[in-house]
């Protein structure tokens, strides 16, 4: 599991930003393995300058102390010791300024290690866990309002008095005291799942948004969600808007982080193995082959391949069947019966074949001319026309010879 951070902050309508936040080094893989990922939100109180300084000192001390202790101690022990060191640092600040007990800050740190969540808290800054759209508050506010609620439940005060008391938001435990009256902590590590969102925020944020609004916004990416939370709180236009700070830790699976999130945020260098390289090569080859197939089949655009009607199959067609009907009709007319030609000449003795009839076909080269009797007939480009015209000439020559013999015999008989 990998942790993706997000954060956003706004000064609100105050004159100074007294909230602060911080992270441990997420790129230090050695420390992440030993101590996990640490995130902190602080909200200073007291004088303007001292509130800002208190939150900053508490954050820095917490980060430095935890990173120094984590390698040799358990997470719970390191967290608690770092919190005590941060409290001592803020108390020293108040003593130096002569305002002992009047300078302080809240503190809400979390640690995520090996898919488990650890936390401590002092003050009214909150820690939430959002899982599958449900937002759960892990911490308890250390303020006077909680004491008033206990008194109201015991019947010592009315609920109206408890809800309208002007001091109900005053803190009962915070960093900067000689001894901490209350410290919230996780009794046991909270198991985390891929998709979980951990949110740390100051009271300026959760005082402006409902839990339903926060849960819906946390479905976005961590940084986008953090910015949208601040924008949504400011859109409420509440009077005397306090400082707003939000930190989000998104728990993502290793595969999703490695292939999609890490390259975008530069949090981890991608290292592929031979299986990933093989899959990428096969996918590239498949995509290339698909592009080539589509290009050869459908290029140029707008000219799809010819399609046959349903149920019709492509087959070869003989050349003779494919020839035009007019050519086949001409071949039929070019065949002449010799007996019909002879009877025609007998009724018309003086009729002789014309030159146009003898040379009806297209002339061919001289070397290809064939002699038949006394006439030369050029062969036609159509084989059937050539043989038909040759038979016609033979029939005509035979008829003329018979006619001459009849005339000669008639003259001899008359004589």
Specify the CATH number for the domain of residue 185. 3.60.40.10
Q: Does residue 202 share a domain with residue 86?
A: yes
Q: Is residue 152 part of a domain?
A: yes
Return the structure tokens found at 190: 């909270």
Q: Does residue 328 share a domain with residue 276?
A: no
Q: Does residue 380 share a domain with residue 272?
A: no
Cβ-proximal residues to 355 (8 Å cutoff; 6+ apart), any chain: none
Q: Does residue 73 share a domain with residue 204?
A: yes
Q: Is residue 289 part of a domain?
A: no
Range of the domain at 403: 324-414
- pLDDT at position 358 is 41
- pLDDT at position 279 is 73
Instruction: Please spell the DSSP secondary structure of 300-338, one letter per residue.
Output: STT-PPP-PPTT-------HHHHS-HHHHHHHHHT---H
Q: Is residue 319 part of a domain?
A: no
- pLDDT at position 286 is 85
Query: Which pTM does this prediction carry?
Result: 0.62
Nearest to 395 by CA among 335, 331, 336, 334: 336
Is the pLDDT score of 287 beyond 60? yes
Q: Is residue 290 part of a domain?
A: no
Is the pLDDT score of 235 beyond 90? yes
Between residues 352 and 325, the one the model is more confident about: 325
Q: Is residue 296 part of a domain?
A: no
Residue 10 phi/psi, 5-degree rounding, is -150, 145
Q: Name the domain boundary from 216, 248, 280.
A: 280
360-383: average pLDDT: 45
Rounded CA separation 148/67 (Å): 38
Return the structure tokens found at 132: 């599958």
- pLDDT at position 357 is 44
Residue 24 phi/psi, 5-degree rounding, is -75, 175
64-93: average pLDDT: 92
Rounded to a whole number, what is the distance in angstroms from the first to the last CA of the chain? Answer: 138
Residue 352: how many CA atoms within 13 Å on its side-chain side? 8
Return the structure tokens found at 14: 């105050």
- pLDDT at position 375 is 45
Is the pLDDT score of 390 beyond 60? no
Q: Is residue 265 part of a domain?
A: yes
- pLDDT at position 136 is 96
Q: Which of the residue ranges 61-65, 66-70, 110-114, 323-327 would you say has the lowest mean pLDDT? A: 323-327
Q: Name the domain boundary from 280, 302, 332.
A: 280
- pLDDT at position 268 is 46
Mean pLDDT of the chain: 78
Rounded CA separation 279/242 (Å): 53
Return the structure tokens found at 211: 């839990």
Judge contact between 2 and 257, C-beta under 8 A: yes
What pairs with residue 46 in β-bridges?
none
Judge contact between 207 and 242, C-beta under 8 A: yes
Q: Does residue 346 share a domain with residue 231?
A: no
Q: Does residue 116 share a domain with residue 241?
A: yes
Rounded CA separation 230/8 (Å): 7
Q: Does residue 266 share a domain with residue 347?
A: no
Name the band, by pLDDT with cuts 50, 70 and 90, for residue 296: confident
Q: Is residue 10 part of a domain?
A: yes
Is the pLDDT score of 148 beyond 60? yes
Q: What Å distances lie between residue 326 and 322, 331, 333, 381, 382, CA to CA?
A: 12, 9, 11, 16, 14
- pLDDT at position 282 is 82
Name the band, by pLDDT with cuts 50, 70 and 90, for residue 3: very high
**Count of domains for the chain:** 2
In the chain, what percentage of residues exceed pLDDT 70?
65
Rounded CA separation 378/394 (Å): 15
Q: Does residue 380 share a domain with residue 244?
A: no
Q: Name the domain boundary from 265, 280, 295.
A: 280
Q: Does residue 354 share a domain with residue 248?
A: no
- pLDDT at position 220 is 95
Name the band, by pLDDT with cuts 50, 70 and 90, for residue 239: confident
Name the band, by pLDDT with cuts 50, 70 and 90, for residue 280: confident
Q: Does residue 200 share a domain with residue 91?
A: yes
Q: Does residue 331 share a domain with residue 252?
A: no
Is the pLDDT score of 174 beyond 70? yes
Judge contact between 233 and 2, C-beta under 8 A: no
In the chain, what percentage of residues exceed pLDDT 90?
50
Between residues 219 and 387, the one the model is more confident about: 219
- List pLDDT tens digits, range 30-40: 999 999 999 99
Rounded CA separation 247/161 (Å): 34
Residue 361 phi/psi, 5-degree rounding, is -75, 165
- List pLDDT tens digits, range 158-168: 999 998 998 88
Q: Does residue 353 share a domain with residue 238?
A: no
What DSSP element (H or E) covers 107? strand 104-113
SS3 82: helix
Q: Is residue 46 part of a domain?
A: yes
């Amino acid at each position: 599991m990998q942790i993706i951070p997000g954060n956003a902050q706004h000064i609100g309508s105050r004159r100074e930003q007294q909230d602060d936040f911080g992270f441990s080094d997420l790129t230090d893989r050695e420390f992440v393995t030993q101590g996990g990922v640490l995130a902190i939100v602080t909200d200073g109180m007291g004088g303007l300058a001292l509130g800002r300084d208190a939150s900053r000192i508490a954050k820095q001390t917490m980060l430095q102390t935890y990173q120094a202790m984590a390698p040799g101690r358990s997470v719970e022990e390191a967290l608690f010791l770092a919190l005590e060191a941060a409290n001592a640092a803020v108390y020293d600040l108040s003593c130096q300024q002569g305002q002992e007990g009047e300078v302080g800050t809240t503190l809400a740190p979390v640690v995520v290690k090996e898919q488990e969540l650890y936390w401590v808290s002092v003050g009214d800054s909150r820690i939430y866990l959002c899982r599958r759209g449900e937002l759960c508050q892990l911490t308890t506010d250390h303020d006077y309002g909680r004491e008033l609620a206990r008194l109201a439940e015991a019947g010592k005060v009315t609920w109206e008095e408890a809800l309208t008391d002007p001091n109900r938001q005053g803190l009962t435990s915070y960093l900067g005291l000689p001894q901490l009256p209350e410290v919230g902590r996780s009794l046991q590590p909270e198991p985390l799942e891929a998709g979980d969102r951990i949110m740390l925020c100051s009271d300026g944020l959760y005082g402006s948004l409902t839990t339903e609004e926060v849960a819906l916004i946390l479905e976005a990416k961590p940084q986008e969600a953090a910015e949208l939370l601040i924008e949504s709180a400011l859109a409420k236009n509440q009077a005397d808007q306090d400082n707003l700070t939000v930190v989000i830790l998104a728990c993502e699976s290793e595969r999703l982080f490695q292939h999609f999130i890490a390259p975008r945020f530069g949090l981890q260098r991608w290292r592929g193995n031979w299986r990933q390289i093989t899959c990428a090569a096969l996918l590239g080859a498949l995509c290339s082959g698909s592009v080539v197939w589509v290009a050869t089949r459908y290029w140029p655009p707008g000219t799809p391949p010819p399609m046959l009607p349903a149920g019709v199959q492509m087959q070869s067609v003989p050349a003779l069947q494919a020839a035009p009907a007019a050519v086949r009709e001409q071949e039929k007319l070019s065949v002449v019966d010799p007996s019909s030609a002879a009877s025609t000449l007998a009724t018309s003795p003086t009729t002789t074949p014309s030159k146009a009839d003898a040379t009806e076909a297209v002339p061919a080269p001289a070397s290809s001319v064939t002699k038949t009797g006394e006439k030369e007939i050029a062969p036609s480009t159509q084989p059937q026309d050539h043989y038909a015209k040759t038979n016609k000439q033979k029939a005509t020559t035979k008829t003329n010879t018979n006619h001459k013999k009849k005339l000669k015999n008639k003259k001899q008989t008359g004589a």
